[in-house]
Structure 1
């Protein structure tokens, strides 16, 4: 696997909400073609993710969350991660989003973002992270399992106007 030596991570700001939304929508459009309705991916996902990221980045509680953008030396954004402490959660810190743009998958972007999320959670005194991945998203499931995440259950959810199953994976920080 080729690593990207010039990859840098920077904290996202409120002004980055449109960039986060664009990367998130592009990732879903490439990844969820067989899992979500085409009409949602083609006509609704851009506006839906735009509203989501605008609200998320403006929401209070920014001290409980870390959003990082991965950039190449050229300044081109190639992915992002969002991790958030969930007070009272039995599962630990939520790795809510981890996306590498399709053209930059398989070259270390996701691993670098995941490591930053793990380091942040550890610095918060946490011992475990969790995430949800769509049932049927085989490439993402395989990626998480290769990184040491373990399946811990599933939950019904709704996305793109349809019922889906979200698989929960956990990662223990103690023992590394």
Structure 2
């Protein structure tokens, strides 16, 4: 009898908003220590992400987005959340479909969680008839930049932004989908 963990993806629902917020905050707290103010990461990010995900999951236009939660199933234990992805069609964007969130929790990085979530986002975009995806990554987030570049994403520009009360630079990457 095997007890190896299996990675599964499931659609998120409104009931998952607190889980999405908790994973998002934990990912930012682990990843952005050197990029965002400690006060924001330690005391504000949890409430800010909770409000964000509640509003996002309640917002109209659900048919334009896909939110998936990655879970590790290791019987006999219950499924353990390992990450999530949110991808959304942007009809007015010249860049294609926005891969808005891709987070593998720190304990599960390097296990293929992010790659599997990204592949699901790419498949969804193809099924929507789209030709390209884009995402933003914080300048200075070297591990994420390296991950995206290994997956075939290409740098296409940068934009000023604001996050956690500070000015940041968001690097835009694009991924051209294979002909559909």
Deviations 1:75-99 (A, max 9, x none): 1111000000001210000000000
Secondary structure of 1:28's partner? helix
**How far apart, in 2, do the equivalents of 1:118 and 1:62 lie?**
17
TM-score normalised by length of structure 2: 0.94
- Name the counterpart of 1:25: 25
Deviations 1:81-137 (A, max 9, x none): 000000121000000000000000001000000000000000000000000000000
- Structure 1 moving runs of 4+ over 6 Å: none
**How far apart, in 1, do the equivalents of 2:26 and 2:178 lie?**
34
Report whether the alignment pairs 1:100 with 2:101: no
Q: CA RMSD in A?
A: 1.1
Residue segments in structure 2 that go unaligned for 5+ positions in a row: none
Deviations 1:22-71 (A, max 9, x none): 00000000000000000000000000000000000000000000000000
- Name the counterpart of 2:16: 16
Name which one, 1 or 2, has greater alpha-carbon Rg.
2
Report whether the alignment pairs 1:148 with 2:152: yes
TM-score normalised by length of structure 1: 0.96
Alignment of 1:15-94 (within 5 A): 15-73=15-73, 74-94=78-98
How many residue pairs get aligned? The number is 173
**How far apart, in 1, do the equivalents of 2:39 and 2:100 lie?**
24
